[in-house]
Structure 1
Amino acid sequence: MLLRGSDVWNITKIIALLPDLVKEIMAIKPSETGAPDSYVWYPAASGTYSARSGYAAALESNPNKPVLPIATASLNWNKMIWNVKCPPKQKLLIWKILHDAIPTGDNLQRRGVPHIANCPHCGEYESIDHLFLHCPFATRIWDLAPIKTRFDSASCTGFVTTLEVSSLWTCLPPTGVTRDIFFWITWTIWMARNQRIFESRSSTLMDVISIALSNAQEWTRAQGDLSSTQVTPTLITQSPVISIPPDAIVCNTDVAWNPITKAAGIGWIFTAQDSQLQQGSESHTWIQSAFQAEALVVRVALSHAIQLGYNKIWLRSDSLGLIKAIVSTSKPKNLYGILSDVETLSASFISLLFQEP
C-alpha cells in the first residue's frame, strides 16, 4: 500500500499521542456493579450541559471565530464594565456592543438577515459607532448631557475610546447622578432606536435625556435605600447536630496520591465506640487525581463493609467536594462509574451517612 505524505504525517502524529491516549484510557474507572450508560457532555468538567459550556465549545470549534480588536482586547473589563455602578442589563448591553453583537443594520446584513440597514433616525448606514456617536440624533443628545466638559461625539474615533473617556466625566448638579451617565444615555439611545423601529414611536432629544437622568436618579436612590438596611450576620460557631444511630459503624477514609506516577494508596478503618474493628488498604495505578482516589476508597470501603455484614455506616471523608458529588443528582464525568457503584452499594445499608470530619 502506498502512503501519501499527509498519511505518514497523520500516523506519526497518532503514534506521538499514544502515550497520552493510553494514560487517559487507563485512568477510566468503569462501574463494577453494572451501572447503565449515561449521556455526558464532555466539554464540561461536570459532564452536564449548560448554555455557557455550549457557547464556549461552539466558539472553540469555529475556525472563523471573531477576534476582538486590539483596543477591546486590552480593555480592563472589570474596571470599565463589570464594576460600574449601574443595572446589570446596561453592563450586558455595553459588553455586547464591544463584541459587535447587537442587531444593528450592518451586523444583520453581514449575517444574511434581510433587513433595512439604514439608521431609523437619519437614514444613513447604521453601525454601532454611527448609532451611538455619529448620528445627528446621537450627537445632539450628547450635547445635552449634563457633564462638566462638553463631549463632541461626532469627532470621537470609536465606542471603545468613548467608554474610556467617559470614566473621567463629572456630572453637573442638580442631576443627582454622580457618575456613569454614559451607561444610562447609551441604554436610552438603544431603547429609543428600538421603539422607533418596532413600535413606530419617536422620541425627542429631551425625552432621551430626561428618561436617562430620571432612571439614573431612581436607581441610585434605590441603591442607597438598600445599603442603609442593616443586616445582622449570623455566625455559626458549631457544626449542626446530626442524629447518628447509636450502633452505627464509623468509617474513616484517606488517600495518598502521586501526581507524577499517577499512583495512589487508599486506606479505610472501621471503628465503633472508639475501638478499632477492621481496616484495609490498597494500592492503585493510573489514577487521574486525588479526587478520583477519594471516590475510589469510598467504593472499596463500602464493599468491605458489606462483606463484614455492617448495615449502619457513618462514612467520613476529608474531601468536601466528594461528599457534595456523592449526594448530588449529577455525577462528574470522570467519576461516573465509581459514584454509580457508590449509589448502588448504598442500597445495601439500613442507614448510611456521608460527612466531612
Structure 2
Amino acid sequence: MDGENLRKRGLFADTACSRCGEPETLDHILFHCEFAEDVWKAGPWKDVVSTGNSSTFKTLIQEARKWTNLPPNGITGNAFPWFVWSIWTARNLWVFENRKTTPLETSVKAITSQKKWEQAQSNRPETTTNRDLTPSLQLSLINESTIFCNTDAAWRSDQQAAGLGWIFIDRHTQVLHQGSIGQRNVPSAYMAEALAIREALIQASSYNYTDICLRTDSEELARAITMIRRSTELFGILSDIDSLVFSPSSPFRSCAVAFTPRARNGPANSLAKAYLVSFLGLRP
C-alpha cells in the first residue's frame, strides 16, 4: 500500500517516499521519483522514455503500445508491465527489507523476468489454437456471441502518416462501436494496416468482447497473422497482435482473422481516410 492510501485511511506516519521524501502516490513510485525515472531511461526501447510529473499510469500505458524494443535484449512483447512490477518490488524491498537496488539492476531484472516468461511460453506443450487451424476452420468457430470487426487504414507516403479505422458490428450488422485515430512515422501502407488491426484488438478488449472475427482487406496481412509469417518491418507489431490473440493471457476466448474484399470494407476505409485528412489538417 502506498503513502497516499495510508493517508486516506488516517495513517499519517511514514507516508512520504522513502527515497526522496516527496508525498508518495502510486504514480510517484512508478514514474515521478528520480529512481523510477532512471529505471525507465535504462529501458530497452529505441527512444529514451521520459516520465515527467504530468505522466500517469493511464497515459503511459497507452504510449507504451508505440515503444519499439531494441535488440539484443531477447524480448518481443510490451515491456511496460514488467518495468512497473520491477519498480514496485524494488520499492518494497527498500521499504520492508532495507535492501537497496540500483535503477540499472531494476531495469535488468524487468527485462530478464520478461525474457524468462516469454521463453517459458514458447516451451509450453503444443496445443491446438485458432492459429493452428486453416482460415476456413477458424471461421467455423464463429458463434452467436461473435463480434465482427472491419479494419482499414489510409496512408500518405509524403507525410509518413496514417489514419486507422475500425467498426464493430454484431451478427445482424448492427454497428456497436466505431473509431479512428491518427499515427505518425508510419513507413508503409502495410504497416498502417497492421497498426489498425492492433488498435482494433485493444479496443475490443476494452469493450470486453471475448469472441471476435477481424476482417481486413489485406490478404497478405491476414495470412501473416494466421500463419506466423513475420516480416522484419512488422515484427514488433505482429508480436503485439500475437500476444493479444494467441497468448495464454489473451482477453479473447476465440479470434478469427479473415480477408474481406475492399469493396466490402468501405465504411472502415471511409473512417480511416476522414481521420487522416483531419489529422493532417488537409482539405476534404
Q: TM-score range by the shorter chain?
A: 0.3 to 0.5
TM-score by length of 2: 0.43
TM-score by length of 1: 0.35
